[in-house]
Amino acid sequence: MASASDVNLNRLAVFVAVIEAGSLTAAADRLGIAKTMVSTHMQRLEAEVGASLLVRTTRRVSVTEAGRAFYEASRHILSMADEALQAVEQGSGTLRGTLRVATPVDYGAIVVAPVLVALRQQHPELNIELVSNDRLVNLLAEGIDVAIRVGRLADSSHRAVKIASYARWLVASPAFIEAWGAPSTPAALAALPFIGMAVLAKPLAVSLENARGRKQTVRFAAGFLADTATACRAATLAGGGVGALTDFSVGEDVAAGRLVRLLPEWSTPAAGIHALFPSARYPAPKVRVFIDALKAHLGAEDV
With H, G, I as helix, E, B as strand and everything else as coil, classify residue 261. strand
Rounded distance between C-alpha atoms, residue 204 and residue 54, angstroms: 45
Q: Tell me the residue range of the domain where 52 lies.
A: 4-90
Q: Is 125 domain-assigned?
A: yes
* 8 A C-beta contact, residue 112 and residue 146: no
Closest CA to 230 of 115, 131, 132: 132
130 in the same domain as 85: no
| Helices marked H in 123-263 | 174-180, 186-189, 229-237, 247-256
Rounded distance between C-alpha atoms, residue 128 and residue 102, angstroms: 11
Where among 43, 75, 90 does a domain terminate?
A: 90
Rg (CA), the chain: 24
Rounded distance between C-alpha atoms, residue 201 and residue 181, angstroms: 29
Q: Is 303 domain-assigned?
A: no
Closest CA to 187 of 236, 212, 232, 220: 220
Q: What's the confidence (pLDDT) of residue 135?
A: 76
* 8 A C-beta contact, residue 245 and residue 236: yes
243 in the same domain as 262: yes
* 8 A C-beta contact, residue 117 and residue 87: no
State the 10-residue block means of pLDDT for the chain, 303 residues long: 73 90 88 92 92 82 90 82 62 75 92 95 92 80 85 74 93 97 93 90 92 91 87 96 95 97 95 85 79 86 40
